[in-house]
Amino acid sequence: TNSLMAGRRGLIMGVANDHSIAWGIAQQLHRHGAELAFTYQGEAFGKRVKPLAESVGSSMLLPCDVEDIGTVDAVFEELRKGWGSIDFVVHAIAFSDKNELKGKYADTTRENFIRTMVISCFSFTEIAKRAAPLMTNGGSLITLTYGGSVRVMPNYNVMGVAKAALESSVRYLAADYGPQGIRVNAISAGPMRTLAGAGIGDARAMFSYQQDHAPLRRTITLEEVGGAGLYLLSPLSGGVTGEIHYVDSGYNIISMPRPEDLKQ
Ligand code: NAD
């Protein structure tokens, strides 16, 4: 334990269970002295998240479904009443119909396109807008993205399009809120075994391809993505905003596998 985040308070959105990326980030923040509030989506997840929140000394646990903007407003009203100000927000929320996370992107329906965009992209903008007035001493927001935004990954489909929009919104929000000392960044994580990760068609194949072809020849850990979150939410990254920070064992830099690996 040290005092990197001592005296800093923030909101963690997107913990479903102890495999969640948001939980990996929360643990690192707690280890470095931050005070945390959590949101959960629905009572079933609430039961899972409660003991996790308690284990890091959090007593602020609030329901929030980003499709219902009233619940988002209520979260920030609770934070205003409880804490007055906040220093950081973690947005680790995404959703798309599982039936459209396989096959062709071209088969995406209008209804699921809109729903995917609202939950996985626009919610971050709505959250930033509500968090900014509470960040009276400056602040830092992060969201989670994936490299399927810039390169075509089989089955990632509409989620890749939503992540591209999310990454662009990171840059626009960084420009909007920079003058107030509020930083906005994204972590582009390599494939991880989470509930959301399991929704992508052939997730296992993505996982083992990463292990075989990323420069580090392995997937990333929850601790590693948590460490990147800690960096981006702490003063250590004070000069960094509008950035898409890859935590992917270097996978994104590779254009083609080594010829000897192809022959296997
Ligand atoms: P996860 O299933 O643990 O977390 C996803 C979270 O999104 C859940 O807590 C769920 O409750 C929440 N959510 C979905 N719809 C919501 C709604 N309408 N309102 C409120 N919350 C809602 O999975 P994860 O992998 O930890 O996902 C977190 C983020 O990381 C997502 O944005 C995901 O796209 C991103 N990401 C995941 C991977 C991976 O391989 N798992 C890789 C890169 C990026």
pLDDT of residue 182: 99
Report pLDDT digits (tens) over 154-169.
999 999 999 999 999 9
**Considering the chain, what is the average pLDDT of its residues?**
97
pLDDT of residue 260: 84
Banded pLDDT at 1 (limits 50, 70, 90): low
> Exposure of 41 by Cβ count < 10 A (0-12 exposed, 13-18 middle, 19+ buried)?
buried
Banded pLDDT at 149 (limits 50, 70, 90): very high
Q: Is 119 helix (H, G, I), strand (E, B) or coil?
A: helix
Banded pLDDT at 101 (limits 50, 70, 90): very high
Residue 89, amino acid: V
Q: Which of 40, 105, 146, 246 is catalytic?
A: 146
Banded pLDDT at 45 (limits 50, 70, 90): very high
Q: What is the pTM of this model?
A: 0.98
pLDDT of residue 264: 60
Banded pLDDT at 261 (limits 50, 70, 90): confident
d(CA 27, CA 15): 11
Report pLDDT digits (tens) over 52-82.
999 999 999 999 999 999 999 999 999 999 9
Strands (E), the chain: 9-13, 35-40, 60-63, 88-91, 139-145, 182-189, 244-247
Q: Is 177 helix (H, G, I), strand (E, B) or coil?
A: helix
| Closest ligand 1 atom to 67 CA | 18
Is 146 one of the annotated active-site residues of the chain?
yes
**Given a cut of 90, is residue 223 above it in pLDDT?**
yes
Which of 156-165, 173-182, 207-216 is predicted least confidently?
Answer: 207-216
**Given a cut of 60, is residue 252 above it in pLDDT?**
yes
Strand partners, 39: 13, 62
Structural domains in the chain? 9-262 (3.40.50.720)
pLDDT of residue 259: 87
Residues 237-248 have a mean pLDDT of: 98
In a mutational test of the pocket of ligand 1, which residue from 18, 43, 93 has the highest number of ligand atoms less than 8 Å from its CB?
A: 93
**Given a cut of 90, is residue 14 above it in pLDDT?**
yes
So what's the ipTM on this one? 0.99
Residues 125-135 have a mean pLDDT of: 98
Residues 120-133 have a mean pLDDT of: 99
* Distance (Å) from CA 262 to ligand 1 centroid: 33
For the Cβ of 18 lying below 6 angstroms from any atom of ligand 1, the answer is no
